[in-house]
A and B are shown apart, each in its own frame.
Chain A
Amino acid sequence: MSEPIAAGPGIEFEHVWKKFHRGEHHDSLRDLLPALARRMTGRGQSAAELADDDFWAVGDVSFEVRPGDALGIIGRNGAGKSTVLKLLTKILRPNRGSCDVRGRIGALIEVSAGFHQDLTGKENIFLQGAIMGMPKTLIASKFDEIVAFSGVSAFIDTPVKRYSSGMNARLGFSIAAHLDPDVLIIDEVLSVGDYDFQQRAFGRISSMVASGIPVVVVSHQLDRIATLCTSAIMLEAGRVAYRGAPAECIQTYMSALGTGQSESSDPCGMRLESFSVVGPDTVPSGGQIRLRATGRLDRSGATGNESFAVAVHNVQAGRLVFEDYDWDMLPFAGTDEEFVIETDLEFNLAQGLYVIDSFVWDRQKEKILLTGPSVYVNVQGGRRFRGTTQLNAQFSRTVASGAVSEPQAR
């Protein structure tokens, strides 16, 4: 990657701390006046210290996003993702550290917040555009594009209070997506509108990301993060808990989500040490995946009912797709023997991100004895179809004699 020009667009988030207050802010004017006086004069107790009932919503978070980079931020609700975005968009100001964003920010956040219900779609385009910082001339030149993209052209002179919520969101997204920003910030707007619009919106975002501007994405749709981003961080209680490639970050997040059912007190003669994908972890829909698990067997403490098992979850939907265990008995011969189990899976699934958990299953008690590592598999489009499962449809065409067999010219 080429070294960026110092003044070029980019984001520098350096050791940023942001505190929030639990409960009410000031109970009375008596509390407030001294506080305001301190704030005004900049004197008194430092804003960087934690008072009673304060907590750090974001603590010591640093990252840098340069042109060509797309940073994904993942984490549970309340981990500090939204606060980071509000710091980036200058709605909030850090208590400590610095947050420097160079260039015009395009924020795909709350895309229809500026809409006024009594104004028409057209009037709202100019209003929302101005609020988002677009010059009027730019809005005017992009007006037709925005309307066409939103698909509400028939209702553009209707007050938005008569719009459906989907139309509202589509129009808002279309305005924001035509900002031509220097820096792009995306928050959970990837699920706007119906399926078709989502595809178009995602295409639009992908092309904005591909144009090489610095991008920050916050989403619970982890497969989108995996597809869009070049790196990712995982936030936990306001801190950076993991930093790395999107795939590993998502894996860490998913295993952290796993509800800690890892070890049971039941005897188990099997230990899982590694679990990985043999070959590429990106397959076309319908493709083969080979998994390799290694571990140790120990005859003492084994019940003989232990089986190696895998479970496949759809990350976006958070749904179990497939779960099965090895039906053959393992030979528990000695103590501390190494084993390797290879599993072949046919990924007859729709495109998306899947997580595969490894665990040891007790066939008799029908319960998980211990969970091992997880891997993640990205399924690409392959053949185009809709739905969740690849059924490999084969269309054979037979046309009865006498019928018109030539395709009709239109």
Chain B
Amino acid sequence: MTEINAATIGRPAARPAGAATGGVLADYRDIVRDFWRSRELLIELARRDIRIRYKQAIMGFGWAIFMPLLIVMSGCLVRFAMMQMSGGSLNRAAIGSIAVKSLPWAFFVGSINFATASLTGNINLVTKIYFPREVLPLSSTLAQSFDTAIGALALAVMMPFIGGTLSPALVWVPVLILLLFLFTSGTTLFLSCANLFFRDVKYIVQVLVTFGIFFTPVFFEPVALGHIGAKLIMLNPIAPILEGFRLSIIQGHNLLEPLMIVGPRGSAILEWSPWFLAYSAAWAVLGFLGASLLFHRAEYAFAEYV
């Protein structure tokens, strides 16, 4: 009868600890197998998180719209103030730009907020029942994806009115979503694990999340920072992903093509280069792989250190 089962069949005989652990490849094989076996648990935990978020909540699903909307509105305000200084006006495309970057940003921040405490918030599970612990931060990210999907639906409906364009460049959107998800998952895996060992990680995260928006081109375009600033801000791994959303959705720009723009002072500024995307992709993929490995190797110590 035996249906192959999530989680509990678990690993092969525990390797004698202390001995050099089998190769990295063997670890990745374990990770993939554990992950595949616990897919049902992952979905069940994500459903739990979603249910809890909307139970006994006066606004219900309104929350999924409200949070990104608030970010967009603050973005518009900041942008309006900037325009007042430089003498321009807040057009529809500017609102659209802010909107398509705010939603992914809200996803990233929301995931980190929920996932960082996902291990410490489930101490009773971690110390009492065995299952691959990756599912805890990942299910938080998944639950946040659900919220974001509702927001994205609302955004898609509004898109024609705020400068969205239908162009072949939209094929980049799924790629960007995948990169964003990978990068966010890697970050949450790392942070949840770190927070289990050092409880002050969540305070550091709070600070980073609060001020991160100033170091990320959400409310403004990198061009506004000038010739060098535009390149520097792209060092933030999430910046090219957000810019990619804006360029492909609002400007219909093919992300494989570089884009030069004449800045306010007449100098040419590199607004986009495919290398920006490659840089982000490297962060997303390597970050995810590295964080998974770290998490997997530290996992055995969770119950002892928590």
Contact = CB atoms under 8 A, between A and B. Distances in A.
A91 B18 contact: no
Nearest to A87: B14
Given A20-B304, A119-B48, A110 B129 contact: yes
Contacts, number: 128
A162 interface: no
Contacts of B298: 36, 39
A42 B18 contact: yes
B33 interface: no
Contact of A138 (B3, B301, B305): B3
Interface string A321-334: 00000000000000
B10 A131 contact: no
B303 interface: yes
A59 to B, nearest CB: 15
Interface residues of B, number: 44
Given A89-B130, A100-B13, A118-B56, A126 B297 contact: no
B99 interface: no
A124 B129 CA distance: 15
Contacts of A107: 129
A47 B17 contact: yes
A94 interface: yes
A278 to B, nearest CB: 47
B10 A48 contact: no
Contacts of B124: 110, 113
Interface residues of A, number: 53
Contact of A131 (B5, B11, B41, B297): B41
B206 interface: no
B8 interface: yes
A135 B5 contact: yes
A21 B5 CA distance: 34
A95 interface: yes
Interface in A56-113: 86, 89-101, 103-105, 107, 109-110, 113
Given A48-B18, A97-B16, A119 B10 contact: no
B31 interface: no
A37 to B, nearest CB: 12
A133 B297 contact: no
B14 A94 contact: yes
B122 to A, nearest CB: 9
Contacts of A36: 298
B45 A127 contact: yes
A183 to B, nearest CB: 9
B5 A126 contact: no
A32 interface: yes
A338 to B, nearest CB: 55
A232 B53 CA distance: 47
Interface string B1-28: 0110111111111101111110000000
B5 A40 contact: no
A145 B280 CA distance: 51
B198 interface: yes
B275 interface: no
B128 A91 contact: yes
A156 interface: no
A11 B130 CA distance: 16
A2 interface: no
A104 B51 contact: no
Contact of B19 (A41, A42, A110, A113): A42
A89 B129 contact: yes
Contact of A92 (B8, B19, B303): B303
Contact of B40 (A90, A92, A96, A136): A136
B52 interface: yes
B92 interface: no
B17 A94 contact: yes
A43 interface: yes
Given A94-B14, A99-B14, A131 B9 contact: no
A220 interface: no
Given A39-B297, A135-B3, A116 B16 contact: no
Given A93-B300, A109-B128, A138-B3, A130 B41 contact: yes
B127 interface: yes
B163 to A, nearest CB: 41
A105 B8 contact: yes
Contacts of B3: 135, 137-138
Contacts of B11: 90
A126 B51 CA distance: 13
B53 to A, nearest CB: 10
A212 B130 CA distance: 24
Interface string B273-305: 000000000000000000000100110110111
Contacts of B2: 104, 182
Contact of B44 (A32, A109, A126): A126
B125 interface: yes
B106 to A, nearest CB: 24
A48 B197 contact: no
A42 B8 contact: no
Nearest to B41: A130
Contact of A116 (B19, B48, B294, B303): B48
B24 to A, nearest CB: 11
Given A40-B297, A138-B3, A133 B17 contact: no
Contacts of A130: 6, 40-41, 44-45
Given A98-B16, A113-B125, A113-B129, A135 B9 contact: no
B146 interface: no
Contacts of A154: none
Interface string A23-39: 00110010010001001
B61 interface: no
Given A46-B18, A107-B129, A113-B124, 7 more contacts: A43-B20, A96-B16, A114-B129, A130-B45, A132-B129, A135-B3, A135-B40
6 contacts: A91-B127, A94-B14, A116-B52, A130-B45, A131-B131, A137-B3
Top 9 A-B pairs, shortest CB-CB distance: A133-B8, A47-B18, A130-B44, A42-B20, A110-B128, A100-B13, A133-B7, A93-B300, A90-B130
Interface of A: 20-21, 25-26, 29, 32, 36, 39-43, 46-48, 86, 89-101, 103-105, 107, 109-110, 113-114, 116, 118-119, 123, 126-127, 130-138, 182
Interface of B: 2-3, 5-14, 16-21, 40-41, 44-45, 48, 51-52, 55-56, 124-125, 127-131, 197-198, 294, 297-298, 300-301, 303-305
